[in-house]
Amino acid sequence: MLPKSLIPGRRFVIGVPYTWLILFFLLPFLILLYISFVDMRGSINPFKPIWDVETGTLILRYENYLSIFRTEEGAPLFRTIYVDAYLRSIWYALATAVLCLVIGYPFAYFIARSPASIRPALLLMVMLPFWTSFLLRVYAWKGLLSDNGVINRFMVFIGLTDAPIRMLYTDISMLVGMTYVYLPFMILPLYANLVKMDFRLLEAAYDLGATPLRAFWLVTVPLSKSGIIAGFMLVFIPCVGEFVIPSLLGGPGTTMIGRVVWDEMFTGNNWPRATALAVVMIGLIVVPLALYYHYTGERAEPKARK
């Protein structure tokens, strides 16, 4: 370890990124939080103070949060458009993560078991689409999945269906698009985990009479648990807030919360509610994340100490 006196401008080195983050991460977030508690009624200016200067008291308005969950009369409990959008976002994110796992796990496994000489090339091939424009790759699916598109024509041609299937602007196009975009986020952590696995453990299982499938289920899968969880989180979290994919591949029935925040902000001009929606959205992401850190943090530490 270097003695502190030998490092010049330690304060400077820490100060530069620290100031940057306080200015452009912490401060904006606090403003967001602040506006979510502002009284919307009677004022379009969202910067009306939430503290009473004369009495010196803080007045927090929960109205913006309550309005997210307030149900109109006669409607089912809590099923507002906002709650629906939240639920739909979680459902799409979960379904995408599961699809990515089902497709990505065998894929990562076979890359990890392929000869070491070709592994870098295979990984490069996984990364390459990931580096080309996300927006353009999503747009391509719009053409591929359209009623008269290449995929429908192909399916009719080989006799899979008689007439084109409606895929674009439905759950199908949403899930195809999201799985496509987020698949590398699942493959890479799984690969990193599987490539380190000791395959002699599998041989031992075979020697003890396990069938390949049983050995896979009882040895490989438990050993790669942390990779599965990491991949799941890496797919789930950005999917919840997805904005571009529903805009291009989704229809009126596939609205997700990211879009709702946008509409509330720019179309509805209701800044307090837009920010309140955003704060709840952060909550949706922080909870699984905290669980993840809690879970992996406890398991990783004893290993590191060894």
Partner 1 sequence: MNSSVPSPASAHAPVPPSPGRIRGIKVWLERHFGKFWLAIVFAFLYLPLLFMIVFSFNSTRQDARFTGFSLRWYEALLRDNRIVDGFWLSLKVATVTGLLSAVLATFAAFVLVRYKRFLGRSVFSGMVSAPLVMPEVIIGLSLLLLFVGSQNFFGFPQRGMLTIILGHTLLGTAYAMVVIQSRLMEMDRSIEEAAMDLGAKPSQVFFLVTLPNVFQAIVAGFLLAFTLSFDDVVITEFLSGPGVNTLPQVIFGYARRGINPTIYAAATILIVTVTIVIVSYAVWVARSTRRREKEIMAAGRS
SS3 assignment, position 52: strand
Interface residue with partner 1, options 116, 136, 208, 304 (CB under 8 A): 136
| 186 vs 236: CA distance, rounded Å | 10
**Region 67-126 residues binding partner 1, contact defined as CB under 8 A:** 103-104, 106-107, 110-111, 113-114, 120, 122, 124-126
Q: How far is the CB of 167 from partner 1 (least distance, A)?
A: 13
CB nearer to partner 1: give 1 or 75: 1
Q: Which two tokens stand for residue 188?
A: 């890479």
Does residue number 189 form part of the binding site for partner 1 (CB under 8 A)? no
Question: Phi then psi for 139, rounded to 5 degrees?
Answer: -60, -35
Q: Which two tokens stand for residue 16?
A: 């530069």
Check if the beta carbon of residue 257 is closer than 8 Å to that of residue 241: yes
Residues 178-209 as b/e (b if ≥16 CB within 10 A, e otherwise) read bbbbbbbbbbbbbbbbbbebeeeebeebeeee
| Interacting span for partner 1 (CB under 8 A) from 8-16, 70-78, 191-199, 220-228 | 8-16
Interface map 152-181 toward partner 1 (x if CB under 8 A)? -x--------------------------x-
CB nearer to partner 1: give 118 or 201: 118
Does residue number 128 form part of the binding site for partner 1 (CB under 8 A)? yes
Q: How far is the CB of 27 from partner 1 (least distance, A)?
A: 6
Amino acid at the residue 215: A
Q: How far is the CB of 218 from partner 1 (least distance, A)?
A: 19
**Region 28-67 residues binding partner 1, contact defined as CB under 8 A:** 28-29, 31-32, 35, 47
| 51 vs 59: CA distance, rounded Å | 5
In whole angstroms, what separates CA 117 from the centre of its chain? 33
| Interacting span for partner 1 (CB under 8 A) from 56-64, 132-140, 219-227, 298-306 | 132-140
Beta strand segments in 56-198, E: 57-58
Does residue number 244 form part of the binding site for partner 1 (CB under 8 A)? yes
Does residue number 232 form part of the binding site for partner 1 (CB under 8 A)? no
Q: Which two tokens stand for residue 261?
A: 């925040």
